[in-house]
Amino acid sequence: MSSRVNGAARESILAALRARGDEPGEPPEIAGMWFESASAASQRRWFVRMLEAAGGRCTGVASAAELPAALAATPEFASAKRRVSLLPGTGSSGIAAGERGGEDEREVDLAAISHPAELADLDFALLPGVFGVAENGAVWVDGAALPHRSLLVLPQHLGIVLSARALVDHMHAAYERLTFDGPGFGCFVSGPSKTADIEQALVIGAHGARSLCVFLLEAD
Nearer to another protein, 199 or 220 (CB): 199
Asked if 169 interacts with another protein (CB under 8 A), we say: no
Task: Give the Cα separation of 6 and 53 in Å (integer).
Answer: 46
Which of 46, 96, 41, 53 lies closest to 71 in space, CA to CA?
Answer: 96
Asked if 67 interacts with another protein (CB under 8 A), we say: no
Asked if 157 interacts with another protein (CB under 8 A), we say: no
Residue span binding another protein (CB under 8 A) among the ranges 74-82, 94-102, 105-113, 194-202: 194-202
Asked if 39 interacts with another protein (CB under 8 A), we say: no
Q: Which of 95, 145, 153, 166 binds another protein (CB under 8 A)?
A: 153
- The torsion region of residue 21 among left (phi > 0), alpha (psi -120 to 50) and beta comes to left
Determine the longest span between alpha carbons in the chain, in angstroms. 71
Q: Nearest distance from residue 50's CB to another protein, in Å?
A: 6
Positions in 88-117 near another protein (CB under 8 A): 116-117
What residues are paired with 203 via a beta bridge? Answer: 195
Nearer to another protein, 24 or 102 (CB): 24
Please name the residues in contact with 91: beta carbons below 8 A apart, sequence gap of 6 or more: 68, 71, 85, 97, 99, 100, 104, 107
The one-letter amino acid code at 12 reads: S
Q: Which of 68, 91, 137, 159 binds another protein (CB under 8 A)?
A: 137
Asked if 180 interacts with another protein (CB under 8 A), we say: yes
Q: How many CB atoms lie within 10 A of CB 156?
A: 19
Nearer to another protein, 72 or 175 (CB): 175
Task: Give the Cα separation of 171 and 140 in Å (integer).
Answer: 11
Residue span binding another protein (CB under 8 A) among the ranges 14-22, 58-66, 73-81, 103-111: 14-22
- The torsion region of residue 6 among left (phi > 0), alpha (psi -120 to 50) and beta comes to left
Asked if 177 interacts with another protein (CB under 8 A), we say: no
Nearer to another protein, 101 or 182 (CB): 182
- What are the two backbone dihedrals, phi and then psi, of residue 213, each rounded to the nearest 5 degrees? -120, 125
Q: Which of 40, 203, 218, 219 binds another protein (CB under 8 A)?
A: 203
Q: Which of 82, 100, 106, 148 binds another protein (CB under 8 A)?
A: 148
